[in-house]
Structures are given as C-alpha cells and as structure tokens.
Amino acid sequence: MKQLFSILIFFFAATVSFSQENCDISTQIPIQLLEKELKRGFKVFKKQKPPIYYLSYTYTDEQTFDLQVTQGGVSWEQAAQQRFLKVTARAGSPEMDNTRSLKSDNDNFFLKTASVPDPAAGAKAFQTAVWRLTQETAQHAQEDFSRVQVDSLTSSKRSDDSDDFVFPDKSLYCRESEPVLLNTDRLKKILLAASEQVYGHPTILNSSFSLSIRQGSRYFVDSRGSRLKTPFAYARIGYELMGKTADGLIISRSGAYDVLKESELPSEEKFLADLKKSITELEMLSKAPEAEPITAPAILKNRAMAVFVHEVLGHRVEGHRQKDDSFGKTFTDKLGKQVLSPILSIIDDATLPYFNGVPLRGFYEYDDEGVKARPVTLVENGILKNFLMSSSPIKNFPKSNGHGRSSKNYRPVARMGNTRVVASETVSYEQLEKMLLEEIKRQNKPYGFIIEDLSGGFTQTGTYAPQAFKLQPTLVYRMYPDGRKEVVRGADMVGTPLISFNKVLAAADDDAVFNGTCGAESGWVPVSAIAPSVLLESLEIEKTEKSFLKPPVLPPPSNLEKGAKK
Amino acid sequence: MKKVFLLFAGIFLLGLSLKAAETPDNIYFRSMKDEMYRSLSQLYVKGSPKPYYLAYKLMHTSFYCAEATLGELQSGKEDVQHSLEALVVLAAGNPQNDSMGFVTDQFDYEPENLPVVPDSYWGIRHALWKLTDTSYIKATHAYEKKQAYKRQKNIPQNIPDFIPAPQASFLEEIKPFPYAVAAELDELAKKLSARGKDIPYLEDFSVRLCLSQTDHYFLNSNGGMYQFSMPNSGGGIFALLRNKEGYQQILSHPFDFPFNQQPNQPDLLRQTEMILQEAEQLFSAVKPEPYLGPVLLTPSAASDFIRELLISNLTNIKPLLRESADEDFSAGAFRNKTGMRIMSNVVDVYDRPRQRQYKGFPLAGFQPVDDEGVSAEELTVVSSGKLHQLPLSRRPVEPKQASNGHARMTINMLPREALSNVFVQPKKPLSEQELEAKLLERCRELELEYCYILKQFPSLGETVNVAQKIYTKDGRKESVFGIKIDERTTRSLRDILAAGQDEKVFSAYDYDGRTYAIITPSLLVDEIEILPDDKKADRAPFIPKP
C-alpha cells in the first residue's frame, strides 16, 4: 500500500507542473477564426435534415524533423511545417448518429483531414479552407447517417443500446510549451559515426539509425463552447539492426531513447555502448538454437510485460469494444470480478508526462474529443473496475473519461494513453529469477524462459477469430534448472487473455517504460506502458514464421572491404 | 556453340575489365563499379546459372515545392529535399539464352529498386549489394521456369536473347541545384494564387510550383555509362468552382519551367489569367449532347491524344513470355506494323532522344545513351503516314536486328523498347484561323450545327471540362463541361485532317512510368465521338463561402 501511495504522489506532482495555463485562449488567432466559422455555420447546420447536431474543429500546427542514417550516409532528412484541420460533424441525434457501428457493413473510421494555410498569415484563405472541409464533412455525415438508419431497420437488436454520443463538458484551456530544441547537427554526426559501427559484422544485413522530432500545438473548438490549445512534443533517437539466419528467420535488435530536452539524451558513449550490446545480442541470436513449442514458467521482463499488458488486456478494455457486437467482449461482463492476479492493479493515466525521468509518449492533457484527461483505474488488485471511455457511452458508463483518441485521418475511439501496471507486493529482480528456478523445478520442466524484449505483436478482438494474442519477442533466454541461461531464437508468445493474466505469480520492483505507437481503427497514436518484471506460472511458446528466401549469397560489402577507398 | 561461348566470354571479360579512368571519379561510380566487379566475379549459387550482365542506375533527385491557396502558403516542406534511388538489372545464363524476357507468377517484370539510399560510398554499395542479391535469386528462378516454359511451348532458340552492341558513354558535370530559385518560389506561388482571391464563384484557387532536378548515373558491365542532370521543374494551377448548374468542377493546368530553371513570371501570370478565363467560361458552361464528328484538338489535347494512341502502341516492342498467359498485353499494338499506314500523311513523327531542349523548354525524354548502354539514335517513326522505324533494344524480335538505343527502364519496368522525345511535325502547318476555318468547312460538309474544340483529351473513364462548341452558322463559341470519350481507336490517327503551327512541349508518362516529351501542334481530327459524363449535380453548400 505504501508503494501505491508514493506512486500517486508522484502522479500528482508531475501533473501539476505540466498542466498550468500560461496563455489566454480568447486571443489565439486559430481559435478566433474557427469559432467565427463554427458560429456562422452551426446555426444553419442544426436546421438541416438530418441535423448536424454537433460540430468540432481540430487544427494542428506541427513542426517535424526526420533523419535517417545508414552505413555512414544520410538516406533521408526532412524538416517540415504542417498545418492541418480535422472537422467532426455528427448528424442525427446523440441517441443515434452517423458514427454508429453498422451491423450490415464495414465501419468507416476515416475522417478527411485537409492541409490549410497559416491562419496568422491571412484569415480569408484559412476560413475558406475551413468552410470547404466543413461542407464536405457535414455532407458525408448526413450520408453516413442514412446508412445507419437503414442498418438500424434491418439488423438484429444490439446487445448494448446505449446512445452514440454524450456531449463533452465545456472546457477552456490554453497552454504553450517551450519548444524541443535538440542540436540536430550534433546528433546527425553521432548517428553517422554510430552507423559505421556495423562494419565488420556480417550478421547485420540491414541497419538504420534515426532521429525524429514532432512538436506543435493543437487547437480545439466545438459547438458546446470548448476552446482548447494544448502543446504536444515527441522526440526519439534510435537504431534498428536486422539479420537473417541460414534457415530464413529474421532476427533483430533495436534501441530507442525518447527525450524532450538535450539533457535527456543518452551520452554518445552510452549510445555506442548500447549499440555494441545490441550487435553482440544479434550475433548471439544468429548462432542460437531454435525454440521448440512448449508451455513453461517464464519471466516477462518489465518492458516486455508492458507490451503484454497493452496488447492482451489494454485493447480489450477499450469502451467502444464493449458495445459493438462484432467484438469478442472478453471483459464486458467481468466488471467487479477478478480478471488478473490479485497482486496487480492497472491504471491508465495520460496526465503523466514522465516516469523515472523518461518522457511518456502517451501523455496528453485533453483527448481528441476535447475531454480532460484523467487517471482511470482499470483493474484494482486484480478486479476489473473500469473501461477506457471516449464520448461514445456504454452500459453503466455514460461519460467519457478522456480517452477518445485518433490520428489525423480518423475519428476517435477509446484508446490507451499511459498504461501502468502496479504490483502490491514486489521482490527484487534477482529474487524473481530464483523464484523462476523454483517454479521450473516444481513443475518438473526442462527449462523456463526469460522474455527480455518484445518488438510488438497483435491481439484479435473480433468475433470472427479466436480471442487470442501473438507477441513477437526479439530476445528470449531459456533458463535451465541449474541456473544456466541460453539465448534461443524464433520464439513467439501465444495465448488467450483470461488465462494468461491469472498466472502471474510475482512481480519485481524494477518498473520500466515501453514507449511506442499503437495502431487500431482510429489510426496510429503514441502510447506508453509501464510495468515491472513478472513471473508467469506458464507461458506458451510457438515457432516464428520464417522467410522462404535465404540470406544474401555474398557478405555485406562493408564487412569485407573496410578501409578501402570510399 | 563455340561462337556463342566466345561471345559470352567476351562480354563477361569486358564486364570485369572496367577501369577506374573510364568512369567519373565520384562515390556513385566508385560504388557501382566496385560492387559490380565483386558481384560478377563472386556471386554464384552452385547449380544455378551465373549472372553475366549487370547494370546499375542511380538517380539523385533534389526538389522543393511551394504551394499556395488564395494568396497564402499551404503547409509544406521547409527545405530542399534530396533522395537517392537505386535500380539493378541482372541477367543470368548467357546471351543466347538468359533469365530475362520472362514473367513468373511470383514476380513482376521490374528491376529491383530501393527508393531511399544513403548518400555515402558504403551506403550505396550496401544498397546495390542487397538489390543485386535479390535480382540474382529472382533471375535464377526466372531462368529455370523460362527453360521449362520454352520446352513446353516448343519455342525454338533461333534468336539470341541479348545481342552485343557498341557501348557508349555520355558523361557531363553534374549541375548544382539552383537553391536561389527555390527561395523565390513561395512568394511567386502566393502571388499567382492570390489572383483567384476575390472571384466569388471560385471555391479554391491554388498554385503549386516545384523546382526539381534529377542527376542520372548509369553503368553496365559491358562498359556503357552515362552521367547527366535533367531539370524537371514545373507545377500546376488548380481552380475549384461550382458552376451555374450546381456541378462542382476542377480545372487543372500543368506547366513546365524553362530549361534554365528560371520560372518565367510574366508567362506564369499569363497562364494564371488564362485559367481564370477558363474558369469564368466553365461557370456558365453547358453539358454536351452526344456528338460524332470533327474535333479540333489544341496542342495540350493533341499531346494526350498522341500519347494514348501512338506512343503507348509503340512501347515494349518485344513481347514478354508469361508463365500463365499466352499473350503479353503490355506489348505495343503497332509492333508488327512496320511499313503499314498507321497515321494520316498530314504529319510526320520523329523521335529525338539526344535533343535536350526545344524553344527553351527541357525535353523530358532526353536519354543520349539507353539503359542497355547503347547510343540512342534519332528515329523517323512515321513518314507519309507509314510506320517507318520502331524503337529497338538489345533484345531482338527478329534475326539480325540491331539495337537503335531505345531500351528504357523505370522502377516499374526492366529495360524495354520505348520512344523518348516525340516530335509531331506537320507538312503544311496552318495558322489558328486557317485551322478553325477548316474545321467549320468540314462541319458544313457534314451538315452539323456545331463542331468541337477540345483543350484537353480525356483519358479513358475520365472527364474534361475545357472544351468549346463552335457553331457552323456564325463561328460562335460556347463553353462545354463534363465531356468523356468512351470509344477511342487508333483509326483516329489516320483521321487527322490538318495540323497547326502552334507546337508546344508537353511532358508525359506512359503506363510503365517512362517520361516523354511530346512536341505537337493543334490537330484537326475528322471523327471523334463525344459523350456527356454521367455525373450528377452536386448539392449546394449549406452556407455561402466566407
């Protein structure tokens, strides 16, 4: 309990420092122009048949920098300024509108986004672009609503007849942030030098070193009176190494560092040392024995556990999946029931900007529907308490809890932000390994596993397929009863959600962050997951798919001819 | 057999004997030469045919685009962008019988390519190594399947797959990218797009200006090579309006910058005014009735007409063998029509791949050495209405056929035969007035109430909005929108009655992505069928434009 308390204190402190208004929303030019256009149009739109009963604008002003380096050369470098507008128009009524999932057809989550001129440079061109996109979006909303009406007449009864929309509370908020200022020239030199470290390592068939910065402000205006300006920033430096074994198995290692300030960057020495470690691991993988299908006890290391929770539980507690009959609804009727090991709690808190000095990509202050972000306890001591909610209500959850998210060409649905696994009882990681050894012996298994790292994976939530998951570890050790560790390759983790989580026996005190980008029906959104390492009573391993093509016949040129004239 | 062996060995040795002095001393040629040498000497899988021919092509493109709408810049890239792309051609087996010219069900007939290659010696070599390896694996698959296919279909091996040809080089200094011009484009785009700002019926008026230059580097294992820069700058003006009848229409007007890359501001302003005039005409234009009769194609429409009916039928002269089809539909329909009448004798057609510019504009098909290392020859394509010369490559269709340097490749197609800079030259060019008079005269002969002038020629399934009816009685013109041409036949080429003296340069692409320049005047065609498109009127906006 003490540990949980200290976590909450940290959440609070971090949120306060990042959530102070420092500008006047009424003086923001994009807000003024969007408000003007919204007022001009909305009074006409709401009298149409069917009426456009809700309208919102999201204008994003974004600066991007992308650098990709390979083999001592720059493959791609681009700095860009992007300004785009997304219009949300809801036709019909909150009880039934154009966004309802169709039973008789595929859903369309696409929402056209348009590039727009700088509103500060000239009002007329900007307003004309807003007007054009509004017309188009409103007409599409009306057409979609007609389809929903037909579908509701001809399709079977919905198991959850909740409304399609709940109006978000009116919010006014304005914050500007210091720009992310990284010395890109210096970083380019570091990446160019690092990219030459792969020379002389024939295992590495492909390598890529990258720097990506995205930052800017998002302006939100809606017909309920919300006016918001919120900043966003993501910066990442990293590398990826890829190889292929003689039997066609793709092997890879990668490293990534999310930063928001120059001071958060890894030192050049640390970056190169991590790279060297990754190269060694890739070479170990290339010589490692192939994994065999088996169930055995396993440790999921912290970052691997973070991905595991995101994929296996997180997507299944997204609110819209509980009322759409095309989804498997694994947890819909499990509210108040035990779904995880009682030592685990799970909170999704998008208001958390950092964890242990690492910037969290899942941080935001208001979601993409203008709803204030807040911590949501999804699971408390193993008992399911909540779902992640957008502004699409479900049975017993009539309001959004600030998780309506989307990327630029999609309409929002409930998505994760920063998903945190908290263990009520922890041991040191060394102790966890000892517990693994005991479990291997107790079960009389030939070995157990340590899942060191996961690249990602997928989970099936539709009713058309089994409610299963498949995750792709990139580094797996077998641990033998005598404590010996051996790297294995080609091991995929598979399973079903209800069984897997109940098998958590213990957790360590080594929480770590996995920063990533999550793809689902509302596009790609930045997310974070934080978790400790855990011991699973059993984990099912199956073989990884292989390529039918051999590795290249000749070794990489930089391997053989290092030092030749360039 | 002995002769074949010697030929094979000769080409192979030539491939290995490339000397540093022969190629320019830069990272592009050094990396191509070194990786080519290594691949030809070492790349081999036991039991499979060896690679005997290799060609590398690198394209370094620099570009900057400015886009503005109603006088304000649209969001866009901040800096000049650079990209390096690599393409590899590899033939395995031997020249008499190799892996090329055959399409398996598994792979398309395209070179291995990588669109993003790092700009460093090892980066380029690494890319070429990967592409060469994949090309080789695919070539070995194709070789085995091709032999089996030929046995199954009883195809005799009386013509070699790949013939020798004198190898040429065209090497010139790479021109620096004109950064100073890029800096001026933003203001120019704003200025041009602002012309549509206060026109009430325009829902948008935007201008896109792109400064672009591609530096080409090519080397093959027979010693053929080229290095040159080509400007490919230009842009477009776009108008969006809703006409009186409620149809939302888009007008687009593409243009190229002059060869010196300096946008001609007065000329662009003139073109902007011209599209504004066309927009005004379109605002009150009428829908067409079905029509069959003479049509005058302005140079812009004539270039589309020539591309679709002539150029596309003169590409890919040697048909490919296909694993699961008896016919190669990508092969040009005129490939067997040498000496036959394919066109009216009002115009002759020439292909001039070595000509770089015309009247100050770059010719997009410029390629002095082709993608098999052969010096590109000028061709008389059509003379007195008859098909005279075909574009040919080192992959002959008939015995004793020689290449004329017209093998061209893109990321979508391995080197195959194609034209480049196509000049349509009238024998007796007429002035604009004479052409219109001839059009009206023909209309009267046919007792038509009106005829058509098309400023764009619609592609199949597309609609154009820039057209006019011209009335027989008094020469009055009336703007028409929503035109489609469903029935298009090469017969129309034989129906050309007259040509103008107003030739212009247009850049075009074919289905395989090759670039062409088409230099054509207005053409009067005796019979084209015009139909109204099927589009319905759009819904009126809920609220007026701000």
HEC readout, B41-89: HHCCCCCCCCEEEEEEEEEEEEEEEEEEECCEECCEECCCEEEEEEEEE
Sign of CA dihedral A113, A115, A117, A120: positive
Q: Which residues of A touch B545 (CB under 8 A)?
A: 128, 131
Is residue B106 within 8 angstroms of chain A, CB to CB?
no
Neighbours of A494 (CB within 10 A): 15
Domain ranges of chain B: 2-59+81-172+215-229
Is residue B37 within 8 angstroms of chain A, CB to CB?
no
Do A303 and A169 lie in one domain? The reply is: no
Is residue B546 within 8 angstroms of chain A, CB to CB?
yes
Please indicate whether, in this complex, the C-beta atoms of A75 and B204 are within 8 angstroms of each other: no
Q: What is the pLDDT of residue A183?
A: 95
Task: Look at phi and psi of residue B108 and say left if phi exceeds 0, alpha if psi is from -120 to 50, else beta.
Answer: beta
Residues 206-235 of B with CB under 8 A from A: none
Residue A126 is part of a domain; what is its CATH number?
Answer: 3.30.2290.10
CA distances from B265 to B61, B86, B192, B257, B506 (A): 24, 35, 9, 10, 19
B330 vs B9, which has greater pLDDT?
B330
What tokens does B207 get? 């201008």
What is the number of alpha carbons within 13 Å of residue A88 lying toward its C-beta? 28
For testing the chain B interface, which of A39, A48, A59, A75 should be mutated: the one with the most B CBs within 10 Å? A75
Please indicate whether, in this complex, the C-beta atoms of A78 and B77 are within 8 angstroms of each other: yes
**Residues pairing with B58 in the sheet:** B86, B217
Rounded-to-integer distance, Cα B79 and Cα B59, Å: 19
Per-residue pLDDT reduced to its tens digit, B236-270: 999 999 998 899 999 999 999 999 999 999 999 99
For testing the chain B interface, which of A65, A76, A184 should be mutated: the one with the most B CBs within 10 Å? A76
Do A95 and A219 lie in one domain? The reply is: yes
Block residue for tokens 């300096």: B262
B222-248 residues labelled b (16+ CB within 10 A) or e (exposed): bbbbbbbbbbbbbbebbbbbbbeeebb
Residues 122-151 of B with CB under 8 A from A: 122-126, 129-130, 133-134, 136-137
Q: What are phi and psi of A78, to 5 degrees?
A: -150, 125
What tokens does B102 get? 């055959």
Is residue B81 within 8 angstroms of chain A, CB to CB?
yes
Query: Strand order of the sheet with strand B421-426?
Result: B386-387, B379-383, B347-351, B421-426, B515-520, B504-509
Q: What is the pLDDT of residue A19?
A: 62
Please indicate whether, in this complex, the C-beta atoms of A75 and B76 are within 8 angstroms of each other: no
Is residue B118 within 8 angstroms of chain A, CB to CB?
yes
Asked whether the beta carbons of B371 and B346 are under 8 A apart, the reply is no
Q: Give the DSSP H/E element, type plus range, for residue A59.
A: strand A52-70
Confidence class for position B77, pLDDT limits 50, 70, 90: low
To the nearest whole percent, how much of chain B has pLDDT over 70? 96
Please name the member of A44, A79, A122 whose beta carbon is closest to the beta carbon of B79.
Answer: A79
Q: What is the pLDDT of residue B182?
A: 86
Asked whether the beta carbons of A376 and A349 are under 8 A apart, the reply is yes
Do A367 and A314 lie in one domain? The reply is: yes
- Between CA B265 and CA B275, with CA B271 as vertex, the angle to 5 degrees is 145
**Rounded average pLDDT over B461-479:** 93
Please indicate whether, in this complex, the C-beta atoms of B77 and A125 are within 8 angstroms of each other: no
DSSP structural state of residue A101: P
Please indicate whether, in this complex, the C-beta atoms of A116 and B74 are within 8 angstroms of each other: yes
Give the domain range for residue A402: 294-543
In B, minimum Cα distance to A119 occurs at B72
Residue A323 covered by a domain: yes
> Of the candidates A400, A378, A381, which has an alpha carbon nearest to the alpha carbon of residue A391?
A400
Asked whether the beta carbons of B349 and B422 are under 8 A apart, the reply is yes
Asked whether the beta carbons of A435 and A442 are under 8 A apart, the reply is no
Rounded-to-integer distance, Cα B341 and Cα A178, Å: 72
Q: Which residues of B touch A128 (CB under 8 A)?
A: 69-70, 203-204, 545-546
Q: What is the pLDDT of residue A5?
A: 34
Q: How far is A241 from chain B (nearest CA, A)?
A: 14
Q: How far is B243 from chain A (nearest CA, A)?
A: 16
Do A283 and A421 lie in one domain? The reply is: no
Rounded-to-integer distance, Cα B86 and Cα B411, Å: 9
Residue A459 covered by a domain: yes
Is cis: bond before A50, omega within 30 of 0?
Answer: yes
Q: How far is B25 from chain A (nearest CA, A)?
A: 11
- For chain B, the first-to-last Cα distance in angstroms comes to 80
Q: How far is A561 from chain B (nearest CA, A)?
A: 10
For testing the chain B interface, which of A71, A126, A241, A242 should be mutated: the one with the most B CBs within 10 Å? A71
How many residues are recorded in chain B? 546
What tokens does B209 get? 């200006």
Residues 335-364 of B with CB under 8 A from A: none
pLDDT(B293) > 70 = yes
**Rounded average pLDDT over B451-475:** 93
B310-323 residues labelled b (16+ CB within 10 A) or e (exposed): bbbbbbbbbbbbbe
**B170, amino acid identity:** F
Please name the member of B30, B43, B70 whose beta carbon is closest to the beta carbon of A124.
Answer: B70
Do A97 and A208 lie in one domain? The reply is: yes
DSSP structural state of residue A315: G
Rounded-to-integer distance, Cα B126 and Cα A240, Å: 16
Block residue for tokens 């290249």: A552
> Of the candidates A502, A434, A494, A454, which has an alpha carbon nearest to the alpha carbon of residue A294?
A494
Residues 83-102 of B with CB under 8 A from A: 83-84
In B, minimum Cα distance to A48 occurs at B542
B303 three-class SS: helix
Residues 164-203 of B with CB under 8 A from A: 197, 203
Neighbours of B342 (CB within 10 A): 24
Give the list of residues 6+ apart from residue B268 with CB closer than 8 angstroms, or none: B188, B192, B255
Block residue for tokens 């919102």: A56
Do A234 and A348 lie in one domain? The reply is: no
Looking at every residue in chain B, the average pLDDT score rounds to: 93
> At what angle are helices B27-42 and B121-152 packed, to 10 degrees?
40
Please indicate whether, in this complex, the C-beta atoms of A44 and B543 are within 8 angstroms of each other: yes
Strand runs labelled E in A169-326: 172-174, 206-222, 227-244, 250-258, 294-300
Number of domains in chain A: 2
Residues 57-76 of B with CB under 8 A from A: 68-76
Q: Which of A263, A287, A311 is the last residue of a domain?
A: A287
Residue A561 covered by a domain: no
Block residue for tokens 């009074």: A43
> Of the candidates B168, B163, B162, which has an alpha carbon nearest to the alpha carbon of residue B91?
B162
Q: What is the pLDDT of residue B1?
A: 34
Q: What is the pLDDT of residue A561?
A: 54
Block residue for tokens 């009267």: B444
Would the pTM count as exceeding 0.90?
A: yes
Q: How far is B509 from chain A (nearest CA, A)?
A: 26
CA distances from A61 to A85, A178, A217 (A): 9, 15, 5
Q: What are phi and psi of B249, to 5 degrees?
A: -130, 145
In B, minimum Cα distance to A39 occurs at B543
> Of the candidates B88, B20, B80, B33, which has an alpha carbon nearest to the alpha carbon of residue B58?
B88
Block residue for tokens 């009406």: A149
In B, minimum Cα distance to A43 occurs at B543
Do A336 and A257 lie in one domain? The reply is: no
Please name the member of B45, B120, B129 whose beta carbon is closest to the beta carbon of A73.
Answer: B120
Rounded-to-integer distance, Cα B322 and Cα B109, Å: 10
Do A264 and A157 lie in one domain? The reply is: yes
Block residue for tokens 């908290």: A422
Sign of CA dihedral A514, A520, A526, A527: negative
Do A277 and A336 lie in one domain? The reply is: no
Residue A550 covered by a domain: no
Please indicate whether, in this complex, the C-beta atoms of B129 and A127 are within 8 angstroms of each other: no
Residue A565 covered by a domain: no
Please provide the DSSP assignment of A411-450 as one string: --EE--SEEEEEESS-B-HHHHHHHHHHHHHHHT-S-EEE
Asked whether the beta carbons of A300 and A372 are under 8 A apart, the reply is no
Q: How far is B211 from chain A (nearest CA, A)?
A: 16
Strand pairing class (B72-73; A354-355): unpaired
**Rounded average pLDDT over B505-529:** 96
Do A138 and A97 lie in one domain? The reply is: yes
For testing the chain B interface, which of A553, A559, A560, A561 should be mutated: the one with the most B CBs within 10 Å? A553
Please name the member of B68, B72, B133 whose beta carbon is closest to the beta carbon of A553.
Answer: B133
A25 three-class SS: helix
List of chain A residues with pLDDT < 50: 1-17, 563-565
Q: What is the pLDDT of residue B380?
A: 98
What tokens does A195 get? 């990219």
Residue A396 covered by a domain: yes
Do A508 and A429 lie in one domain? The reply is: yes
Q: Where are the alpha helices (DSSP H) in B157-258?
A: 179-193
**Residues pairing with A435 in the sheet:** none
DSSP structural state of residue A460: -
Do A249 and A333 lie in one domain? The reply is: no
Q: How far is B193 from chain A (nearest CA, A)?
A: 10
What tokens does A389 get? 């909610």
Query: Is the ipTM of this structure higher than 0.95?
Result: no
DSSP structural state of residue B428: S
For testing the chain A interface, which of B72, B124, B195, B197 should be mutated: the one with the most A CBs within 10 Å? B72
Rounded-to-integer distance, Cα B60 and Cα A378, Å: 52
Residue A315 covered by a domain: yes
